[in-house]
Structure 1
Amino acid sequence: MITLETLCLNLPEVTSADIQSWIQNQWLKPEKKEDNYLFYEIDEARARLILDLRDNLGISEDAMSLVLNLIDQLYTTRRQMKYLCEVISTDHYPDSRQKLRQLMDEFIINGL
């Protein structure tokens, strides 16, 4: 874990005020200990993503929340698909496989 100061040193393109704003907007969700923020590696990666979206792709502050939300949904779906592929390809989850088969049958029968 790193502090706000270290994060700013690792990302010279941002200021402490930028990071504070990102925290207020809930784009970053560091751990708070007393009066200090502590950031994980994933927080630094997300800060880099925010920088890339802002500086290289021109995403405005108004649109950033929407873009980050969509990216979060995409990654959630990706994790779910990975789990689904694991369930389908192994026998380690017999209950889940049965439920999946039932859902697939309903999908086919109802033409969803």
Structure 2
Amino acid sequence: MDIISTKKYKHLKEWRKHFKLSQEKLAEKLDSTQPTIMRWESGTMAIDDETFEKIAKTLGIEPIKLMVSPKDASTIDFLSKMNKIIQNMDDETKLQWISLGEKLTDKK
């Protein structure tokens, strides 16, 4: 999985707190150290893709969800479901679906 290399740290602290873990406890689960977690969370130390995936697995979430805040994670699930639906549509059906969505959300 190719994970965007920038700002992987941005929501790490939010996710750690979401799961009620201290830096020390997360470090223990990752076989790391508290200062390393602190550096990852502040963005002063890069998180490589393998470690990023290990963090997600440790937290029990998909790596892509670490790229958004916990409160926005349901959007990832929603977009994944939408993607599965549209994969089997032809272009005309996709345009009709978009048009329907626009009509349903029109607040005029």
Bigger relative contact order, structure 1 or 2 (CA pairs below 8 A, ≥6 apart): 2
The answer, yes or no, to whether TM exceeds 0.5 is no
Instruction: Please report the TM-score for the alignment, with normalisation by the length of structure 2.
Output: 0.29
